[in-house]
Structure 1
Amino acid sequence: MSPIRITFARLLGGTLLLASITPAWAAERAANALKPGANAIASAHHLATDAGFEVLAEGGNAFDAAVAVSAALAVVEPSSSGLGGGGFWLLHRASDGRDLFIDGREVAPAKVDAKAYLDAEGNLDRDKSVNGALAAGIPGHPAALVHLAEQYGRLPLKRSLAPAIRLADQGFALESRLQSMIAIRRDVMLRYPASASVFLRNGNVPELGTIIKQPDLAKTFKRLAKRGAKGFYQGKVAEMLVAGVQAAGGNWQLSDLADYRVKEREPLRFQYRDYQIVSAPPPSSGGVVMATVFNILEGYDFGNLSSADQTHLLVESMRRAYRDRSYVLGDPDFVDMPLQRLTSKDYAAGLRAAIRLDKATPSSSLPEGATIHSGTDTTHFSVIDADGNLVAATMSVNLPMGSAFIPSGTGVILNNEMDDFALKANAPNAYGLVGTDANAPAPGKRMLSTMSPTFAFGPTRTAVIGTPGGSRIATMVLLGLLEFMNGKSAEAIVSRPRIHHQYLPDVISTEANALSREDTKALQARGHTINDSERPWGNMHVVIWDRTQNQLSGAADPRSPVGSARVEPALLGKH
């Protein structure tokens, strides 16, 4: 069946094609490329960082390390990513300066029916969209690992998967963050024997330090290592996945798995002053949102404004970027989008003209739109290798522990990304956010995301950056990029207190100490509503290459108790 395409050409005008790579950028980077001579990895778990360095020590490159880190996180951070989920991998290849985007996002099964997620009264049934088999899209994570290894790595897939297989077989000690995620999803996991057997002990949340072993997951990884994509998407694993999903009320078929394909896409690129930004294109909204905000800010002498004025302009820019996100963006294989127009300087100038420095713009006064959610339980890692190859990767299963459902015999905890679709137009999802036809489910369609793995190439430094955080991902990365452009260290970037506005609801969310008391009063006087001192959010991991000193640095978000950033010299003869 050929996909139905939704066209928004008339909405904003302009060409419908994504801007292609600027040849001068790639040529300049390749011609002038230094080699760091060291490796840097920052990830959400020290065991995943260790896995990446293990394969680098075996002669692997950044792309092999990305396979190892992705796979290890699937074992030790199952609340956030895994073989039953999906993700985006942004790559920079030093040998020719090429940037590319690997889209391993989940897709809707062929038998998807939005009505299946409604109750007898026609209202969205939250239990069906977030818990169990019906909530799961067809995973893309395994296919992306195979693609990375076969197309860009130096090592055999089985070597890069070895650390994950070992961690699944031998187990790892339960830490506080995963323990809290298991507690959140305990009641749902009790419905599914395979899930409860792995993550609960006699029906209870395990104590800290409990060794979590996943022998079925190890077997699935071994089949993937031996047979590549066929080891997951065909054969015994596929049969167990489909049988388990169907027995639990889902609608997967063997053909859904066999037909899954990774997509290589052109990254979204834009320039802000002296910085070239490379980020995620649709089906992520993150790159478009950031391009819009930066293009608006470029019209101001932003660095010389007061902190209250800077925050006001950030919020007003975010408000407008998220309004566009709400009803224009979707899967590019199904929806035609005016991306060049949305990311153009002229379009930003028009948005800027309606911004007043002394007064907030109520979201209700802007043309109607509706914000779409992307999952909050996500993970990110960043890599720079000794040759200057870069990887920024953001992966997700959506809510904590995904759907909380493991099909028997697979060890694979499935995502609940179907809730990222607009299953009912204008009906709120798990986070009270709503969507439109651009993000309606269809067979083989990818749900919209906000995951925003990003590179920033400045005059003297290069950054690899990203974070989990649902609809707040793009604004967190944007704030991190501003810190990077101001010359801040990796530690300062990941530690910055965060603010966020997403058009609807019409409030500024802030972490504790993100705004001074004086700035809060000044913003409120302009008409802003502020929800301050919220719990911390995000889990940002950054690596930076200072090209003037030819030195690498990295930092893991202090909000995470197990995040890890390391820089190590490359072994001679191994790169």
Structure 2
Amino acid sequence: MGKEGQRQRRGAVACGHPATAAAADEILAEGGNAFDAVLAAFCAACAAEPVLASLGGGGFLLAQPANREPLLYDFFVQTPKQRPDPAALDFYPILADFGTATQEFQIGVGAVAVPGAVGGLFAIHDDLASLPMTRIVEPAARLAREGVELRPIDGYLFDVVSPILKATPEARGLFLNDEGRLLAPGERLRQPRLADSLEALAGEGARLFYEGDFARRLVRLCRESGGLLDEADLAEYRVERRKPFVCDYRGHRVTTNPPPSCGGILIAFALALLSKAEPARLGAGTLEGLDLLARVMSQTNKARIEAHLAEGAEIAAGRLFEPALLKRYQDEVGGHPGFSRGTTHISVVDGDGNLAAMSLSNGEGCGTLLPGCGIMLNNMLGEEDLNHGGFHRWPEDCRLSSMMAPSLATSDEGALYAIGSGGSNRIRTAVLQVLVNLLDHRMDMAAATEAPRLHVEGESANLEGGLPEAAAAALSGQGYRTIAWPRHNLFFGGVHGVALSADGALSAAGDPRRGGAALVRAA
């Protein structure tokens, strides 16, 4: 849009990497608003967090311009229009090694869904930004060209998905050092082709990716290498602008990602159950509070399963939840395939009260880069949650559902919050607990983020280090198989959040579980 911004806008950012935060801060210093800043951080995350974010993936932005209603931008990936011939696909398994366990992922060009990231970048810019795109991509292009030094957590993620980073010659050229070893902490990842691509897109717009040279490269790659995308898949991709789901929680207003994605509606479901309990029962870190949270998480799991299994299913929770919302969940989520894997999140607020919560994912990446462009393509069609009866059975031309749940809240005192998390199916429990910490326990953002967490899934209750020692025994007595984690762990998500208090004070916290970073610009 290129409107003249004010100089030195106040603001705060929280995200998954210091370089991502620095990009947003640079744009705030230029006078950009929260939406300029979150777009700059988005681009920078592609350079600094390449396992989690890419222009070849997709995501969501929950935006609330100051004194206006919020809007959800769905730029997640789309399934192809054509049915696959499995025998013709480049689609194969790899084992990701987490150190204590391994997990099989499917990669290859045949796992690539229609990317939405570039479409989202420009749709958000057209609607909400104040600075030109050429300025917004500058920090990311500089970072990609000069390189980013890998941290220990980056090295860990590289090791986990090393078969993907070594899958093709172009990927090996990017992620291996001169000695042929995977880049390690302390070494620099440089992505000059990604820098060129960011600058080209800033100059030519989204059409370059969906109808121009980048589109032709992607279609040719799919035709020659066992993929599924064609010209129509790209040219007809659309960013969906959706009305967010809004709920009242004890006089606070919570806004989150609506159907067809499932994470936000599950968080709203859990809040509805919690709202029926006396606030005193939710004491932070108390046995009674943990027992209540465990019961709510368990009922939310049941509702999620039942909503997928049968029309008209009712939850076994004393009808604590509004039937209309459960029906909406059943109708709008049940028919969409789901995705719940590797993600990162960016939250930004500026001094004018503009709020941005953006969640991004590339799956793990398919192992193949868009030829000559330095853009790792997604592997969303290799997600097991899409294919309970076997792979390649997804519905054609359908937006994927997601557990990602960028969320906003306004407290009964007028404080504004923007939060979100990575962490697969732990996203909903991580965001839920941080909301409870902020709204019920009146914690500041750092304390709310760092407080130890619980995650209940099926018959298992995972307890993070720092919870009362008696909690494991109490939950075992309720029939759960308890798993005690000795300290903070990335298993429990990575909630990055920002706040603007009712009196105008800014704060931010990046989750230490996932190498989070935060910056506050006071003037």
Indicate whether 1:526 and 2:489 are aligned.
Answer: no
- The separation in 2 between residues aligned to 1:377 and 1:152, in whole angstroms, is 27
Question: What secondary structure does 1:559 align onto?
Answer: helix
Give the deviation of 1:529 after TM superposition.
1.7
Native 8 Å contact 2:9 2:32 kept in 1: no
- The separation in 1 between residues aligned to 2:280 and 2:353, in whole angstroms, is 30
Provide closer, same or farther for how the CA distance between residues 113 and 317 of structure 1 changes in structure 2, counting only shifts above 3 A. farther
Native 8 Å contact 1:220 1:410 kept in 2: yes
- The separation in 2 between residues aligned to 1:163 and 1:337, in whole angstroms, is 49
- The separation in 2 between residues aligned to 1:231 and 1:474, in whole angstroms, is 35
- The separation in 1 between residues aligned to 2:424 and 2:434, in whole angstroms, is 16
- The separation in 1 between residues aligned to 2:23 and 2:476, in whole angstroms, is 48
Can you list the C-alpha shifts for 1:511-548, whole angstroms capped at 9, x where unaligned?
Answer: 2233x22222122112122122174422211111111x
Give the deviation of 1:216 after TM superposition.
1.6
Work out which of the residue numbers 412, 416, 427 in structure 2 matches 1:459.
Answer: 412
Task: Tell me the residue number matched to 1:167.
Answer: 143
Give the deviation of 1:189 after TM superposition.
3.1
- The separation in 1 between residues aligned to 2:306 and 2:369, in whole angstroms, is 34
Give the deviation of 1:323 after TM superposition.
2.7
Give the deviation of 1:347 after TM superposition.
5.2
Indicate whether 1:493 and 2:451 are aligned.
Answer: no
Indicate whether 1:290 and 2:267 are aligned.
Answer: yes
Aligned amino acid, residue 522 of structure 1: A
Task: Tell me the residue number matched to 1:190.
Answer: 166
CA RMSD after TM alignment: 3.2
Question: What secondary structure does 1:78 align onto?
Answer: coil
Aligned amino acid, residue 390 of structure 1: L
Task: Tell me the residue number matched to 1:21.
Answer: none
Indicate whether 1:80 and 2:52 are aligned.
Answer: yes
Task: Tell me the residue number matched to 1:412.
Answer: 375
Indicate whether 1:48 and 2:20 are aligned.
Answer: yes
- The separation in 2 between residues aligned to 1:449 and 1:517, in whole angstroms, is 34
Provide closer, same or farther for how the CA distance between residues 184 and 519 of structure 1 changes in structure 2, counting only shifts above 3 A. closer
**Given the two structures, how large is their TM-score scaled by the length of structure 2?**
0.86
Provide closer, same or farther for how the CA distance between residues 278 and 423 of structure 1 changes in structure 2, counting only shifts above 3 A. closer
Provide closer, same or farther for how the CA distance between residues 329 and 64 of structure 1 changes in structure 2, counting only shifts above 3 A. farther
Task: Tell me the residue number matched to 2:345.
Answer: 380
Give the deviation of 1:380 after TM superposition.
0.6
Structure 1, gaps ≥5 residues long: 1-35, 331-335, 352-368, 430-438, 571-575
Native 8 Å contact 1:220 1:232 kept in 2: no
Q: Please say which of residues 407-416 and 106-115 is displaced more in the overlay.
A: 106-115
Indicate whether 1:238 and 2:215 are aligned.
Answer: yes
Task: Tell me the residue number matched to 2:387.
Answer: 424
Aligned amino acid, residue 156 of structure 1: P
Question: What secondary structure does 2:449 align onto?
Answer: helix
How many residue pairs match? The answer is 489
Can you list the C-alpha shifts for 1:253-291, whole angstroms capped at 9, x where unaligned?
Answer: 122111111000000111111211000112321221111
Provide closer, same or farther for how the CA distance between residues 327 and 397 of structure 1 changes in structure 2, counting only shifts above 3 A. farther
- The separation in 2 between residues aligned to 1:71 and 1:305, in whole angstroms, is 39
Question: What secondary structure does 1:98 align onto?
Answer: coil
Native 8 Å contact 1:89 1:102 kept in 2: yes
Aligned amino acid, residue 62 of structure 1: A
- The separation in 2 between residues aligned to 1:112 and 1:178, in whole angstroms, is 36
Indicate whether 1:393 and 2:358 are aligned.
Answer: yes
Native 8 Å contact 2:362 2:379 kept in 1: yes
Give the deviation of 1:345 after TM superposition.
11
Native 8 Å contact 1:101 1:266 kept in 2: yes
Aligned amino acid, residue 78 of structure 2: V
Provide closer, same or farther for how the CA distance between residues 198 and 338 of structure 1 changes in structure 2, counting only shifts above 3 A. farther
Give the deviation of 1:113 after TM superposition.
3.0
Provide closer, same or farther for how the CA distance between residues 406 and 118 of structure 1 changes in structure 2, counting only shifts above 3 A. closer
Native 8 Å contact 1:241 1:410 kept in 2: no
- The separation in 2 between residues aligned to 1:305 and 1:272, in whole angstroms, is 14
Aligned amino acid, residue 296 of structure 2: S
Aligned amino acid, residue 56 of structure 1: L
Provide closer, same or farther for how the CA distance between residues 528 and 102 of structure 1 changes in structure 2, counting only shifts above 3 A. same
Superposed, 1:349-368 pairs within 5 Å as none
Can you list the C-alpha shifts for 1:377-417, whole angstroms capped at 9, x where unaligned?
Answer: 21011111121100011111123xx2222132121111111
Provide closer, same or farther for how the CA distance between residues 440 and 297 of structure 1 changes in structure 2, counting only shifts above 3 A. farther
- The separation in 1 between residues aligned to 2:376 and 2:113, in whole angstroms, is 12
Aligned amino acid, residue 557 of structure 1: D
Native 8 Å contact 1:52 1:65 kept in 2: yes
Provide closer, same or farther for how the CA distance between residues 197 and 492 of structure 1 changes in structure 2, counting only shifts above 3 A. same
Work out which of the residue numbers 178, 195, 200 in structure 1 matches 2:154.
Answer: 178
Native 8 Å contact 1:418 1:447 kept in 2: no
Superposed, 1:194-213 pairs within 5 Å as 194-201=170-177, 202-213=179-190
Aligned amino acid, residue 501 of structure 1: V
Aligned amino acid, residue 69 of structure 1: A
Question: What secondary structure does 1:130 align onto?
Answer: strand
Q: Please say which of residues 137-146 and 321-330 is displaced more in the overlay.
A: 321-330
- The separation in 2 between residues aligned to 1:305 and 1:167, in whole angstroms, is 44
Q: Percent identity?
A: 30
Native 8 Å contact 2:247 2:268 kept in 1: yes
Indicate whether 1:513 and 2:486 are aligned.
Answer: no
- The separation in 2 between residues aligned to 1:350 and 1:282, in whole angstroms, is 16
Native 8 Å contact 1:490 1:542 kept in 2: yes
Provide closer, same or farther for how the CA distance between residues 527 and 560 of structure 1 changes in structure 2, counting only shifts above 3 A. closer
- The separation in 1 between residues aligned to 2:318 and 2:383, in whole angstroms, is 30
Structure 2, gaps ≥5 residues long: 1-7, 95-103, 325-333
- The separation in 2 between residues aligned to 1:350 and 1:221, in whole angstroms, is 46
Give the deviation of 1:373 after TM superposition.
6.5
Task: Tell me the residue number matched to 1:155.
Answer: 131
Indicate whether 1:450 and 2:429 are aligned.
Answer: no
Native 8 Å contact 2:74 2:120 kept in 1: yes
Indicate whether 1:258 and 2:235 are aligned.
Answer: yes
Work out which of the residue numbers 418, 423, 427 in structure 2 matches 1:473.
Answer: 427
Work out which of the residue numbers 356, 361, 366 in structure 2 matches 1:403.
Answer: 366
Task: Tell me the residue number matched to 2:115.
Answer: 139
**Given the two structures, how large is their TM-score scaled by the length of structure 1?**
0.79
Task: Tell me the residue number matched to 2:292.
Answer: 313
